[in-house]
Structure 1
């Protein structure tokens, strides 16, 4: 706003290190992501992409260094988690809840209201809303996880392998849903092995290699 302080970057990391046991996973990571930007995170298996997403979601505490999410210190886990949604590669759903119950629960956790039936319809799961997640196929679980991220539309959304376990129509749907989040001003970080798909939504590309993050 004119005359006011500029909004904080959505993500800021300064010389961030993470050691798990004897292994160093992240090495001096520096990162600035403006609010609303889309970032594709590239790297081989085991490069640390999933770990970095978990750090940004305050699920892992850095060994050394500083980090902020929408101005909140990463050590303030409650504030960070209120602003962030992490969609893990395994979808992170509750297997004994139905599809609709999973979405209702996610909304309740964030104190939000939302159109659960509409979200299920958006991902072609309207007919299985009452089915427990444990009885869904891997592709259906991924669609449900995408519906949850789309329904929540948290200011920072972190997505791990959104195109895995999806056929061509499912991948097209994932592109649409994630693209709509960008249009709504969500800051999006996508870790993916399909750079051409991810960068169509999140054009800035970063690469993790040996725990070091660089512009791709």
Structure 2
């Protein structure tokens, strides 16, 4: 039987850490390739950050590291005050929306949201979440039969519904029309307005920075600050 965890409260997490995300001289090697090189980073609780970089720069990999699904080869990190290597504790506070949505193709839209709510011990309302993203008419359809844009909307509904203290989003504007992109801005804006720390990896800086104004650039394994709001990143 799948383990159900109790959903942490954002206010409890805030009491545990002044910074939501911290990295100190983090290196990450995957096979023979070095992805991150001495990255040091501070992201405050409730802050919105846009992560930019060319294709293949390692943005998705950095999100996976912050979600504790990858461990640093060298260096240290903390998420909401918990050691990055303590995956069990970290994952209680983090929701990841991957570029492919991370959905179960053989489950319906409602079943996907209900399953996610049970796994996180979250008292959620899948029907309300589907209405929020204009997918109520597709509630009983299996995900494998949805368009790419509809799958993106469903993943957004899940992120909005779960509302974790740290939300990491990979390419939320891909495969969406103008109306869909406006919906992304609204929903992620609501997530951040609720107190969540938001990190968005995107190729559309003008869209992402409307929600998450602080911008970081990843290139050659190193982070640099664009339009720095504070000296949180040191190469």
TM value normalised by structure 2: 0.89
In 1, distance between residues paired with 2:117 and 2:44?
26
Residue 65, structure 1, aligned to residue 75, structure 2: yes
Structure 1 counterpart of 2:24, from 14, 20, 33 = 14
Equivalent residue, structure 2, for 1:80: 90
Deviations 1:24-48 (A, max 9, x none): 0000011100100000000000111
Equivalent residue, structure 1, for 2:166: 156
Deviations 1:145-183 (A, max 9, x none): 000000000000000000000000000000000000111
Residue 24, structure 1, aligned to residue 34, structure 2: yes
* Gap change, CA 1:99 and 1:46, over 3 Å in 2: same
In 1, distance between residues paired with 2:112 and 2:38?
37
Residue 138, structure 1, aligned to residue 151, structure 2: no
Structure 2 counterpart of 1:167, from 177, 186, 195 = 177
Runs of 4+ in 1 over 3 A off after TM superposition: none
Aligned-residue offset at 1:8: 2.7
Q: Structure 1: where are the runs of 5+ without partners?
A: none
Deviations 1:162-212 (A, max 9, x none): 000000000000000000011100000000000000000000000000010
Equivalent residue, structure 2, for 1:185: 195
SS in 2 for 1:40: strand
In 1, distance between residues paired with 2:141 and 2:174?
22
Q: Structure 2: where are the runs of 5+ without partners?
A: 1-14, 227-235
Deviations 1:81-122 (A, max 9, x none): 110001000111000111011111111111111111010001
CA RMSD of aligned residues (A): 1.0
Aligned-residue offset at 1:6: 8.0
Residue 53, structure 1, aligned to residue 53, structure 2: no
TM value normalised by structure 1: 0.97
Number of residue-to-residue matches in the alignment: 212
In 2, distance between residues paired with 1:97 and 1:55?
28
